Amino acid sequence: MTEEVLLEFPEDHIAVVRINRPGAYNALNLNVRRLIAEKFDLLKGREDIRAVILTGDNKAFAAGADLKEMSLLSAVDYYKTHVERLYNTFADYPRPVIAAVNGFALGGGMELAMISDIILAGKSAKFGQPEVKVGVMPGAGGSQRLVRAVGKYNAMRLCLTGMMIGADEAKEMGLVCEVLEDNKVMDRALDMARELAALPPLGLEHIKYAILHGPDMSLESALGLERKSMQVLLSSTDRAEATAAFLEKRKGSYNGE
Region of residue 102 (phi > 0: left; psi between -120 and 50: alpha; otherwise: beta): beta
d(CA 251, CA 220): 36
Has 108 been annotated as catalytic? yes
**pLDDT for 81-103, tens place per residue?**
777 778 888 999 999 999 999 99
Task: State how far the alpha carbon of 206 is from the alpha carbons of 13, 196, 254, in Å.
Answer: 18, 14, 15
Among the options 27, 63, 65, 189, which is catalytic? 65
What does the alpha-carbon distance between residue 23 and residue 8 come to, in Å, rounded to a whole number? 21
DSSP 8-state class, residue 125: -
According to the model, what pLDDT value does residue 58 have? 94
Q: What is the pLDDT of residue 54?
A: 98
Question: Active site residue: 56, 108, 109, 142, which one?
Answer: 108
Distance of CA 203 to the CA centre of its chain: 19
Which pLDDT score is estimated for 140? 85
User: What domains sit in the chain, N to C, each tagged with a CATH number?
Assistant: 5-197 (3.90.226.10), 201-247 (1.10.12)
Which pLDDT score is estimated for 145? 94
Tell me which residues of the chain have a pLDDT lower than 50: none
Residue 4: how many CB atoms within 10 A of its CB? 19
- The catalytic position among 107, 111, 122, 141 is 111
Q: Rounded CA gap, 88 and 141, in Å?
A: 10
> Which one of the listed residues 131, 140, 141, 197 is annotated catalytic?
131
pLDDT tens digits, 8-34: 999 999 999 999 999 999 999 999 999
65: annotated active-site residue: yes
Would you call 111 a catalytic residue per the annotation? Answer: yes
